[in-house]
Amino acid sequence: MDEQKTRIAVEIYGQTYKMVGSETSSHMRMVATLVDDRMREIASTNPNLDSTKIAVLTAVNSVHDNLKLKEQVAQLKDELKMVKG
């Protein structure tokens, strides 16, 4: 089966990127907006960084947030197992 792919153009930190994925265009735009927002936040607190360093710090922060959320989910699952007995 050929899965339908969503193709959109988004702007992140002043650059246009073509995104292709299986999610809705609104989801993909939300992802792009969140990345753009995070990059601008990092740039505002570190004005001397170039865009590559800002992008890497954005990736590091995003992976950190993802790992923390996975830890929280695992902890909640463990707690739920204890409650259920």
| pTM of the shown model | 0.85
21-42 confidence digits (pLDDT tens): 999 999 999 999 999 999 999 9
Q: What is the pLDDT of residue 84?
A: 86
- What's the burial of 75, exposed, middle or buried (CB within 10 Å: 0-12/13-18/19+)? exposed
The total of other beta-carbon atoms located within 10 Å of residue 12's CB is 21
